[in-house]
Amino acid sequence: MKKSLALLFVLLFALAVTSAFAARTGKEVYTAKCAMCHDSGVAGAPKFGDQAAWKAHLEKGMDHMLENAKKGIGAMPPMGMCNGCSMAELKAAVEYLAGTAK
């Protein structure tokens, strides 16, 4: 019985830790890290949902936009204020943001 309870505790702990580090959605990352500039267009950031502002970026493709987000462009620093983001989260945020401008 004690071994079963110990095993159950270990499994629940592992599940909790895994859930805590699960990748956030593009919308979650955007809201937490990107919206502060892209909602208002601060410092020349293309505004959320603005098709005209995003047209040139979209024409260059998703890989180019992801590289800009990773390295920074203009006033946007590398990783675009999302230093704690994984590459998967950064990609999800770029895809979410670009998808609103199509």
pLDDT band of residue 22 (cuts 50, 70, 90) is confident
Q: Is the pLDDT of residue 81 over 70?
A: yes
Cα angle vertex 26, ends 21, 32, to 5°?
A: 75
Q: pLDDT for 24-53, tens place per residue? A: 999 999 999 999 999 999 999 999 999 999
What CATH number does the domain located at 23-99 have?
Answer: 1.10.760.10
Q: pLDDT for 49-71, tens place per residue? A: 999 999 999 999 999 999 999 99
Q: Domain residues of the chain, as ranges? A: 23-99
